[in-house]
Amino acid sequence: MLEELHRWVGGARLASCLLCLFALGCSEKAGTEVTPLDAYCPIDAAEVEARIDALLDALTLEEKASLMHGVQIIPVDGTWQSTSIPKNGIPGFHMLDGPKGVGVSSLLAGANGANTTAFPVAVARSATWNPELETRVGAAIGQEARAVGADTLLAPGMNIIWHPLSGRNQEYYGEDPFLAGEIGVAFVRGVQSMGVIANAKHYTANHIEDTRLDVNVNIDERTLRENFLPQFRRVVEEGGVGSVMTAYNQVNGSYCGEHSMLLGDILKGEWGFSGFVVSDFLWGTHNTVPSALAGLDLEMQIANVYGQPVVDAVNTGELDMANVDDHVRRILRAQFCFELDSNPPVLDDSKLETEETLALAREVATKSIVLLRNEAEFLPLSKTKAESIVLVGPLADAENLGDTVGSSAVMPSEVVTIAEGLLARTDLASTIEHVPGDLGDLDDQAKVSAADVVIVVVGLTDEDESEGQTRPPAPMLGGGDRDGYGLPMDDAAFLANVLSLNSKVVVVLIGGSAIDMSPWFEDTEAVLMAWSPGVQGGHAVADVLFGDAHPSGRAPMSFPASIEDLQAFPRMALDVTYDRYHGYQRLDKNGVAPFIPFGFGLSYTMFTYDSLTANTQSVGQDGVVTLRLSLSNTGTRAGVETVQVYAGAISPMVDLPVRKLVGFAQVRLDAGDGTTVELEVPVRELAYYEEGEGWVVGPGLYKLEAGPHVADLPTSVEVQVR
């Protein structure tokens, strides 16, 4: 593994990235006080800045302005590129998308037409609750990006899941900022360990797809700071992300690409972001001077408001040279700190779809599956329960990787469908038969009726949820936000038909977000949420169904009992107001029980929680509370448990969530074993944002609760914050 890293990363970057990759920490350089610039630049930051100073003196205004935009709508040599100036040693950027693998747009030729590994979608990877695993995914995608000639990966998507009906939920890491931050930081560190710049997007409040180019999000500063920015802040401050992409939408009346508070005051000011800010592609810029003054550094894909308009603005005095130099400095800093000039990507097909990346895709898919129902321990299947198994459903033999348009388009050479994964299990005593079609034939209905178990695969496709919008100027993208919370009508009717024929039904759900299961849930024996599971998804589903793998996925979002329990989702609105609470915090605040709680996931064994203690009864606002609890596997099989810790003020003086996630840890235990789990909770995680004051931790008594999910927290302890 070290030889592989050295080959792809290069010696200068390797030494400073090993700690990031393996220990998930990259905060100090030995013997020096670390500045944000030092943390951003793993090679000698002072030397890089001196080199940039010399270039700023040498470049003309026209050359500087040319560096601030892309060069062509159609990818050049398989990547979207920004301007290079070879005579000055400036390589430009070579970008590709990558939320679930190195992207190949279905509309444009990208990635040199290469086949790359399609991993499970981001929401599935957050369902693993496993940052170490996501670091490995990031490194694998970074390796493949370099192998097709890209040095900048337009991922991860760092928006939280605000509402189940949003079309791009599959690209994001769940509804909770803490969970999204943990997984996002891990992905960034993995990608950048390969010498590839990661790009955190879409900054920010980007959750309505159908009107994404124009919708204005009205949001008070506290709601923005507490719910929509924390995960972005973490990938900047902890992950050292190389770039940030602005969203298409407006926030409080200003487009994100020219929003001075978001870009200048918060991102570059408060957070000390040293990298570059890039616009979302083609339609993400509107006005030259407001964009430049706010802090947008690079316009992609082509010059619309930058380039010659920047030259004109400087010549008329609307912009000064110092502003242009700052943008160019950030662009050059990224290129030189990530050694895009001295260690550029090298095309290498042998690094694509390797045994290692395919095995990783299978591991991730397996660990992402959430067991939502298992009546009377119906699963795992065995010969005593299932001598004959029939597999049916519209998505049983579908190569369903999730969205196939725009950012999420990946083109693997082969996809293992669920049908292929199950039928490959020739080692089983059970007989498995795949019955395709709509079961209109009487013989097919008889097979379903006679089976010991019927596995039904239903859910969502890119026709139901995807990037895109339903109106000009980009109707060719199609897709967009969901038009309902339940299964598509054809899938719902199919499942109802199966349930009328046989009561021993296992449902495998596919999709990128929560789905209403209330009409049929109680009529099934078991339900698995398999998300959009990537190229090895069929094998992963089979591994969990037959017990070769333990189901360890946990829901990264709430599944509400009714969509009416959440804020309305005005998918065609041009003006929307975000409420203070969403997801489990909204349900908690309103005293409404979810259908599936945030963090929920069943197991093939049983875990018992006991004796939660804190290392102190009183702590200062800059302190850390160390929690310890006893965890036991009281079942008959080995298993993995995700211990979750939530905190809430007992008698708050201001409006606060009932509880919020402040920590989690995964533990594997053999049957009958027990252990002590230790977690640290910094008191800063209890802070709220007060406009005019900043982040505040209210003194008082706080309750820290631990358990398997937000609605089951069997053990707690109280701590006084001074």
Tell me the pLDDT tens digit for each residue of 247-274.
Answer: 999 999 999 999 999 999 999 999 999 9
Output the average pLDDT for the chain.
Answer: 92
**Could you read off the pLDDT of 20-52 as tens digits, one per residue?**
333 333 333 344 466 889 999 989 999 999 999
Q: Which helix (H) or strand (E) holds 400?
A: none
Tokens of 492: 């719902």
The reply to whether omega before 327 is within 30° of 0 (cis) is: no
Instruction: Report residue 105's pLDDT band, with 50, 70 and 90 as the boundaries.
Output: low
Instruction: Report residue 5's pLDDT band, with 50, 70 and 90 as the boundaries.
Output: very low
- In angstroms, the Cα distances linking 497 to 218, 449, 455, 464, 494 are 45, 11, 13, 22, 5
CATH of 2-349, one of 3.20.20.300, 3.20.20.210, 3.40.640.10, 3.60.21.70: 3.20.20.300
- In angstroms, the Cα distances linking 304 to 70, 199, 258, 437 are 10, 21, 14, 49
The string over 387-414, giving b where at least 16 C-beta atoms fall within 10 Å of a residue's C-beta and e elsewhere, is eebbbbbbbbbbbbbbbbbbbbbbbbee
Task: State the Cα angle at 258 between 257 and 262, rounded to 5°.
Answer: 85
**Could you read off the pLDDT of 471-490 as tens digits, one per residue?**
444 444 556 899 999 999 99
The answer to whether the pTM exceeds 0.85 is yes
Best CA proximity match to 596, nearest among 504, 515, 487, 486: 515
Best CA proximity match to 365, nearest among 116, 509, 540: 540
Tokens of 455: 């596995």
- What mean pLDDT comes out for the span 626-639? 97
Strand-pair category, 370-374 with 431-434: unpaired
Same fold yes or no, 362-590 and 607-721: no
Which DSSP category does 225 fall into? I
Residue extents of the structural domains in the chain: 2-349, 362-590, 607-721
Catalytic residues: 280
Question: Residue 372's CB: how many other CB atoms inside 10 A?
Answer: 23
Best CA proximity match to 495, nearest among 463, 518, 470: 518
The architecture in CATH of the region 362-590 reads: 3-Layer(aba) Sandwich (3.40)
The architecture in CATH of the region 607-721 reads: Sandwich (2.60)
Long-range contacts, stretch 697-701, CB < 8 angstroms, 24+ apart: 697/621, 697/721, 698/649, 698/652, 698/653, 698/654, 698/656, 699/621, 700/649, 700/650, 700/651, 700/652, 700/653, 701/649, 701/650, 701/651
Give the integer Cα–Cα distance in Å for 454 and 468: 35
Best CA proximity match to 584, nearest among 607, 606, 559: 559
Beta bridge mates, 576: 217
97: left (phi over 0), alpha (psi -120 to 50) or beta: beta
Q: Would you say the C-alpha torsion 105, 245, 511, 515 has a positive or negative sign?
A: negative
Give the integer Cα–Cα distance in Å for 70 and 89: 17
Does the pLDDT value for residue 614 go beyond 70? yes
